[in-house]
Chains A and B, each alone.
Chain A
């Protein structure tokens, strides 16, 4: 609460007061007492106003576009945020500085997010600024960070006025061919009736004229043609063929890896939104199935603007999902989560409430991740521990050996010094085995004595564990569980960061070098979802699998069975795989030739070794992806299923073409 300025002032005044009381100097005593009375009065006034203000501050938020307040945001557009800090107490607040916390999912596009002043009843503090939403997902506004101080800057208090508001950022509106508009928002969708079916029906396009038959509705009579031909003619309109198209969007960990908005999931969501919107515009029936390793969110194919908005909502929710793994080291997520907690939950991180005894970080070793590789520092501490343990071990070993030797002599046993030494060594080993837990405790304690960083992390971990235990509703023992179980703590810290939309780095491979985000369990979920959709399907439908299926060849069996069922029932299936942006797309007809080309190019390379090595590594990665793509294409080609890459700008257009082809088939069937 006291600022350094206040501390220095108080220390000076108190020192002067005590010194001059001792030296009997009335002028300075009076002066010190005056300053002290002022200081104490300012402190008491500040504290009392602060206590009276607690719970009286609240925030009002409004998100606007150029027309007015909105409930959902759109990717690629800018919005105005207007937030008011209000006080419903009778007393005005002390001087305060308010800063609205801009979420990571949006970019600040202008105007200041901070303001200072005093908040009274009926006189709120208003902050207005602009943000841009680059990608679909969710945007979570936490609230306003408030700092209060007295005018002299002696006292200071930080609090957070929580006002959690979550807005969906819907995918950008696209035209019928999947192109995202850049200039205009409206009138870009094609008119209805794009898919013509030249048969009489209830469409809007004129197909032909025919003679009037009794029973034809009078409004269908073509009066001009009837007048010219001198007999009644009736208009016939084209029929429209609605196609049902279900999009299966992969939202598993494998596509969530990467920065939000730039990962594979963002591309899949973009393609899905474009296809759904274009299909709905053509009066087709788009459906959606978002799946991950565990669950499925299913929207049955339907028609109408509300259905499209529902699809967009589900896609936006999926786009904001973060990747998580229990293998993330606590050293990485702990500082991030602690910084966030200090900013957003200052009242739960107060030292008087969330206590850490000062001696605890010195003697309370927090468990290290048991699966990580030993570092150089770890080896150093191990050697130091062994050396330190050697001294008492040798001392007690010698004493024990001497004792044994004396006993042997006393009992007149035929053993000499060597058996006594061996016996004492065996006893010491037995003792070390029995007291392994204690010895490990001392071993873990050793780094704490030399490393301030570890002590700091121990302190942070305790405070953060207490907060996470309360926030996530763990049992009363949750604090201790988070303190002692690294994996549990890591998962909860990731959940905490993900809920507040804070990006954090994740390891891609475990200690054994295995990729952590392959997520093969999603294939079973996808297969089950596809079979369910086939079971409920009508006529010929199009199922588009937007999923990362590369390098999962050995786990594809259940999915291939489901695809076989769908194809057998005369449905069409397409696979769209997300493609990493840094990897070039595979060439058409390049299968089998690429490896030879690359090898010959590498052999002819005469550049320095490190550059060649880098190029070879990159080439190997490209080849790996290309081979995986070709394998997947071959696998699915057996069932007549096309495999596309989602990085391809034309992927949405290709899906729509397939829809059109399906319509032609349907017409042929009729």
Chain B
């Protein structure tokens, strides 16, 4: 009994349009903030990168946009004050920075979610190929179904976007204080502090998660972990013994055959 396959699912237009709107709004906000400070040559570049990434569905568009915004700021700083050890601004908190961060984050997240809907969400597995007679069959790409991405999801995303920016602002206010680490210049002190906080935080979280996973191991996983530890500790001795066993078996067989 052959049952005909259902027709392929149509591209997820409405929600993609929703994410497109978020991306365009975020792009406009970025451009406005850039223009508000001063008109720079890099502003059209940001606009072009953002729009091209949106229209051509570039996979690297979010990263390119982040790099473009960062490049524009770095160039502006270099033009005004150059890269020095001195802190160029008196205040660590500025509303425009927070808005810019929220806008870039909105563009990045919306674009990546759009990629999951139109491109693929899981890394393509080269072993899985589409059916067909072609020699070079394309790799199967699993994309998220359109009906799963509801308008409520976009609303929730927009509501949550300011939170990371606010957390980042708090962190930055703390970080902007002069940190005298081992008498090093403030930038290096800040750099070391961030690296240490990230490393220690990730180490602690990883240890907690590892402990949690160990507590919830199944029987087979626990046996495998113990067996693996035993093998790691005694592999040389076990290797020797098993090679002798293999040799003796071969010798016995040769004797039987002869």
CB of A499 within 8 Å of the partner chain: no
The answer, yes or no, to whether B184 is at the interface (CB within 8 Å) is no
The chain A residues found within 8 Å of chain B, CB to CB, are 3-5, 8-9, 12-13, 16-18, 20-38, 41, 44, 47, 51, 54-55, 78, 95, 97, 109-112, 116-118, 130, 132, 147, 149, 151-154, 156, 339, 347-348, 352-355, 357, 367, 370-371, 466-467, 469-471, 476-481, 483-487
Chain B CB within 10 Å, residue with most, of A34, A38, A51: A34
B4 within 8 A of A: yes
Does A130 lie within 8 Å of B3, measured CB to CB? yes
Contact A25 B73 (CB under 8 A): yes
User: Whole-angstrom distance from the CB of A373 to the nearest CB of chain B?
Assistant: 16
- Does B187 touch A at the CB level, under 8 Å? yes
Which residues in A have their C-beta under 8 angstroms from that of B120? 153
Query: Is A466 within 8 A of B224, CB to CB?
Result: yes
A663 CA / B234 CA spacing, docked (Å): 70
- Assess whether B172 is in contact with A20, with CB atoms less than 8 Å apart: no
Q: Is the CB of B70 within 8 A of A152?
A: no
What is the CA–CA distance of A339 and B126 in the complex, to the nearest angstrom? 13
Tell me whether A54 and B216 are in contact (CB under 8 A). yes
Q: B244 to nearest A CB, angstroms?
A: 9
B121 at the interface (CB under 8 A from A): yes
- Chain B residues within 8 Å of A479, by CB: 227-228, 230-231
Stretch at the interface among B21-29, B47-55, B160-168: B160-168
A36 to chain B, nearest CB (A): 8
Contact between chains at B102 and A347 (CB < 8 Å): no
Q: Across the two chains, which residue of chain B brings its CB closest to A30?
A: B97
Given A12-B66, A370-B250, answer yes or no on A147-B224 (Cβ-Cβ < 8 Å): no
Q: How far is the CA of A41 from the CA of B109 in the complex (A)?
A: 13
Does B5 count as interface, using CB distance less than 8 angstroms?
A: yes
Instruction: Assess A17 versus B4: contact at CB under 8 Å? Given A34-B102, A51-B212, A466-B231.
Output: no
A466 touches B101 (CB 8 A): no
Bound-state CA distance A22–B66 (Å) is 18
Chain B residues closer than 8 Å to A4, beta-carbon distance: 123
In contact, A9 and B63 (Cβ under 8 angstroms): yes
B66 near A51: Cβ-Cβ < 8 Å: no
Contacts A27-B73, A485-B245 known; A3 to B227 CB distance under 8 Å? no
Q: How far is the CA of A355 from the CA of B227 in the complex (A)?
A: 11
For the complex of A and B, 10 pairs with smallest distance between CB atoms: A110-B3, A480-B238, A78-B1, A484-B242, A33-B168, A34-B101, A152-B112, A37-B164, A34-B168, A38-B164
Q: Which of A3, A24, A469 contacts B83 (CB 8 A)?
A: A24
Give residues 204-258 of B contacting A (CB, 8 Å): 205, 209-210, 212-213, 216, 218, 220-221, 223-228, 230-232, 234-235, 238-239, 241-243, 245-246, 249-250
| Contact, CB under 8 Å: A481 / B66 | no
What 1/0 mask marks residues of chain B from 20 to 53 whose CB sits below 8 Å from any chain A CB?
A: 0000000000000000000000000000000000
Contact B187 A22 (CB under 8 A): yes
Report yes or no: A24 in contact with B250, Cβ–Cβ below 8 A: no
Docked complex Cα distance between A44 and B202 (Å): 10
Contacts of B2 in A (CB 8 A): 109-110
A5 to B97, CA, bound (A): 26
List 26 contacting pairs A-B, 8 Å CB cutoff, sorted by A. A3-B123, A9-B63, A22-B191, A28-B69, A30-B101, A30-B165, A33-B172, A34-B101, A38-B105, A47-B209, A54-B216, A132-B1, A149-B116, A151-B116, A151-B149, A353-B225, A355-B228, A469-B227, A470-B224, A470-B227, A476-B227, A477-B238, A480-B235, A484-B245, A485-B242, A485-B249
A352 and B59 CA atoms in complex are apart in Å by 30
* Bound complex: CA A476 to CA B222 (Å): 12
For residue B100, CB closer than 8 A to chain A, the reply is yes
Q: Are A20 and B242 in contact (CB under 8 A)?
A: no
Pick the most buried of A13, A35, A132: most chain B CB atoms within 10 A of its CB: A35
Chain A residue nearest to B226 in the complex (CB): A476
For the A-B complex, the count of residue pairs with Cβ-Cβ distances under 8 Å equals 240
What does the 1/0 interface line of B96-136 toward A look like (CB < 8 Å)? 01101110110011001101100011110001000000000
Q: Do residues A110 and B168 form an inter-chain contact, with CB atoms below 8 A?
A: no
Nearest CB on A from B251, distance (A): 11
CB <8 Å contact, B105 and A156:
no
Q: Are A149 and B224 in contact (CB under 8 A)?
A: no
A134 to chain B, nearest CB (A): 13
Tell me how far the C-beta of B70 lies from the nearest C-beta in chain A, rounded to whole angstroms. 4
Tell me, in angstroms, the Cα distance from A32 to B221 when the chains sit together: 39
Binding site for A on B (CB under 8 A): 1-6, 59-60, 62-63, 66-67, 69-70, 73-74, 77, 83-89, 92, 94, 97-98, 100-102, 104-105, 108-109, 112-113, 115-116, 120-123, 127, 142, 144-145, 148-149, 153, 164-165, 167-169, 171-172, 175-176, 187-188, 190-191, 194-195, 205, 209-210, 212-213, 216, 218, 220-221, 223-228, 230-232, 234-235, 238-239, 241-243, 245-246, 249-250
Q: Give the residue of B1, B97, B242 whose beta carbon is less than 8 angstroms from that of A483.
A: B242
Chain B, Cβ-Cβ closest to A17:
B194
Q: Which of A17, A31, A47, A51 contacts B101 (CB 8 A)?
A: A31
Kindly state the separation between the CA atoms of A97 and B128 in the bound complex, as whole angstroms: 15
Bound-state CA distance A638–B179 (Å) is 105
Extra 8 A-B pairs, beta carbons < 8 Å, given A5-B115, A26-B92: A8-B60, A9-B108, A18-B195, A24-B87, A25-B77, A470-B223, A479-B228, A479-B230
**Contact assessment for B89 and A487 in the assembled complex, using a CB-CB cutoff below 8 Å:** no
Q: Contacts of B210 on A, CB cut-off 8 Å?
A: 352
Complex contact A30–B246 (CB within 8 A): no
B145 touches A37 (CB 8 A): no
Taking A110-B2, A484-B243 as contacts, is the C-beta distance between A12 and B67 under 8 angstroms?
yes
- Complex interface: chain A residues within 8 A of B109 (CB): 38, 152
B116 and A12 form a contact (CB under 8 A): no
Of B195, B221, B234, the contact of A348 (CB 8 Å cutoff): B221
Which residues of chain A come closer than 8 Å to B145, judged between CB atoms? 116-117
User: By CB atoms of chain A within 10 A, which of B63, B83, B175, B230 has the most?
Assistant: B63
Q: How far is the CB of B240 from chain A (nearest CB, A)?
A: 9
The answer, among B112, B115, B194, for a CB contact under 8 Å with A18, is B194
Is B246 within 8 A of A484, CB to CB?
yes
Q: How far is the CA of A288 from the CA of B166 in the complex (A)?
A: 78
- Contact B242–A480 (Cβ < 8 Å): yes
Asked whether, in the complex, the Cβ of B66 is within 8 Å of the Cβ of A13, the reply is yes
Known: A33-B168, A110-B4, A479-B231. A21 touches B224 (CB 8 A): no
> Given A5-B112, A152-B112, A156-B123, A481 and B242 touching (CB < 8 A)?
yes
Of B1, B70, B148, B175, which is within 8 A of A28 by CB? Answer: B70
B70 touches A31 (CB 8 A): yes
For residue B16, give the distance in angstroms from its CB to the closest CB of chain A: 13
Least Cβ distance of A171 to chain B in Å? 19
What chain A residues lie within 8 Å of B108 (beta carbons)?
Answer: 9, 35
Q: CA A352 – CA B210 in complex, angstroms?
A: 10
**Contact of A467 with B224 in the complex, beta carbons under 8 Å:** yes
- Write out the residue numbers on chain A whose beta carbons fall within 8 Å of the beta carbon of B188: 22
